[in-house]
Amino acid sequence: MTSGWIALLDDLASLTKVAASSLDDAAGQAARAGGKAAGIVIDDAAVTPRYVVGLAAERELPIIAKIAVGSLKNKLLVLLPGALGLGFAAPWAITPLLMAGGAFLCLEGYHKVVELVRPGQSDSRAGSPVAQTAEELERERVASAIRTDFILSAEIMAIALASVATSPVWMQALVLAVVGVGMSIAVYGAVAIIVKADDAGVALARTSHGPLRALGRGIVLGMPVFLRVLSFVGMVAMLWVGGGILLHGLHELGVHGPEAAVKQAATAVAGAVPVMKSGVAWIVSAGIAGILGVGVGAVVAPFTDHVLAPAVGYVKKRLRPAPGG
């Protein structure tokens, strides 16, 4: 009997080691998949704070919490099962969809470039919301943020799925869940800190003395600069990530020339410098991908602005119930 219990405990120990190894493998794959989506995460963190601009300070954190909950629902209830189903039923469609998402990132990055060069251009493109009550404005802001999050989350989940496409289904599901939850916590935790940092700075400046007061003033004065830098980094990240996705997608579809040319150019430039060769190669590759991203965005923008957007507006108008109906 004793030997039986010992054998059972030994089996349990072996199963525990296998489970621990599997979880460690899932964590490693999730980390690698999340790293590939870092550019999108940076942009998400840069974009989200604008949804609370102009609203009461006491509503900022509740609004961010609502967006975070919507983001988790997007990832776990819609995108995760959708991605798994796509990987099972039509794995061939993953690369084209990933490239479509890359083109969207290029488009968004291009719009940011246009706004940087010609301030106010994006406002005329997007239109201004009609005056509303505070509650209606909050609902609209939350809904708009969740819609934007859905698109960015779809790209994150697609990148994660492509990174683990050869793994078992349960591993894919676990990695996608870890990436989805982890990214949401990272993004909206960072957004909450960014949004409330100026309030913390004001409190320090008013109630403290000496170095703490100086720190508070520094935070208040530095946050606008930090947000501008973060927005610029997000713009650049969208462009090089989007361009890189398109280059790699072409490679996966059998068109190897563009990605090979970029690698050759990066290798040639890196070979001409005496130090930090890998860093220089990455900068050159990312720079070329970013330039490609701007070009793709410039090509896609007229189609979305003059064909796709009017078509979507027409469909929405046709589906909208008639007044009094």
Q: What is the pLDDT at residue 234? A: 75
Q: Which residues contact 226 (CB under 8 A, 6 or more apart)?
A: 194
* Least confident stretch, 10-24, 231-245, 275-289, 300-314: 10-24
CB 105 within 8 A of CB 245: yes
Q: What is the pLDDT at residue 137? A: 79
Q: What is the pLDDT at residue 124? A: 46
Predicted TM-score (pTM) of the model is 0.70
The tokens describing 41, both together, are 């995460």
* Least confident stretch, 9-18, 118-127, 202-211, 279-288: 9-18
Please classify residue 68 by burial: count the beta carbons closer than 10 Å to its beta carbon, then call 0-12 exposed, 13-18 middle and 19+ buried: buried
Asked if residue 93 has pLDDT above 60, the reply is yes
In a domain, 86, yes or no: yes
Q: What is the pLDDT at residue 209? A: 80
| HSE value, Cβ hemisphere, 13 Å, CA-based, for 303 | 8
Q: Which residues contact 314 (CB under 8 A, 6 or more apart)?
A: none
Q: What is the pLDDT at residue 21? A: 46
What digits encode the pLDDT tens for the residues 57-77? Answer: 778 888 888 888 998 998 899
Q: What is the mean pLDDT of the chain?
A: 77
Q: What are phi and psi of 133, to 5 degrees?
A: -75, 165
CA-to-CA distance for 217 and 202, rounded, in angstroms?
7
The tokens describing 320, both together, are 């909208």
Total residue count of the chain as it appears in this document: 325
- Following CA atoms 50, 52, 56, 59 in sequence, which dihedral angle do they give, to the nearest 10 degrees? -160
Q: How many domains does the chain have?
A: 1
Give the residue ranges of DSSP H helices in the chain: 2-36, 38-47, 60-73, 80-89, 94-117, 121-126, 134-163, 169-207, 211-252, 257-271, 277-303, 309-319
CA-to-CA distance for 220 and 134, rounded, in angstroms?
26
In a domain, 232, yes or no: yes
CA-to-CA distance for 268 and 290, rounded, in angstroms?
19
Q: What is the pLDDT at residue 41? A: 66
Asked if residue 51 has pLDDT above 80, the reply is no
The tokens describing 198, both together, are 């100026």
What digits encode the pLDDT tens for the residues 128-181? Answer: 445 467 777 788 888 878 887 787 788 778 777 777 777 788 888 888 888 888
Asked if residue 27 has pLDDT above 80, the reply is no
Q: What is the pLDDT at residue 85? A: 87
Residue 294 banded pLDDT, cuts 50, 70, 90? very high
What digits encode the pLDDT tens for the residues 108-136? Answer: 889 888 888 887 655 444 444 454 677 77
Q: What is the pLDDT at residue 239? A: 87
3-state secondary structure (DSSP) of residue 25: helix
In a domain, 16, yes or no: no
CA-to-CA distance for 96 and 83, rounded, in angstroms?
13
CA-to-CA distance for 178 and 76, rounded, in angstroms?
10
Asked if residue 90 has pLDDT above 70, the reply is yes
Asked if residue 35 has pLDDT above 60, the reply is no
Closest CA to 80 of 15, 134, 3, 157: 157
Q: What is the pLDDT at residue 251? A: 92
Q: What is the pLDDT at residue 14? A: 47
Look up tokens 């719009």; give the residue.
Answer: 111
The tokens describing 45, both together, are 């963190």
Cα 99 to its chain centre, rounded Å, is 15
In a domain, 4, yes or no: no
The tokens describing 8, both together, are 């059972």
CB 176 within 8 A of CB 157: yes
Asked if residue 19 has pLDDT above 50, the reply is no
In a domain, 12, yes or no: no
Q: What is the pLDDT at residue 291? A: 94
What digits encode the pLDDT tens for the residues 198-244? Answer: 788 888 888 878 788 888 888 888 888 887 787 788 788 878 888 98
Could you give the percent of the chain with pLDDT greater than 70? 78
Domain that holds residue 159: 25-125+132-319
134-163 and 38-47 helices, crossing angle to 10°: 180
Asked if residue 23 has pLDDT above 50, the reply is no
Taking only Cα atoms into account, the Rg of the chain, rounded to an integer number of angstroms, comes to: 24
CA-to-CA distance for 239 and 233, rounded, in angstroms?
10
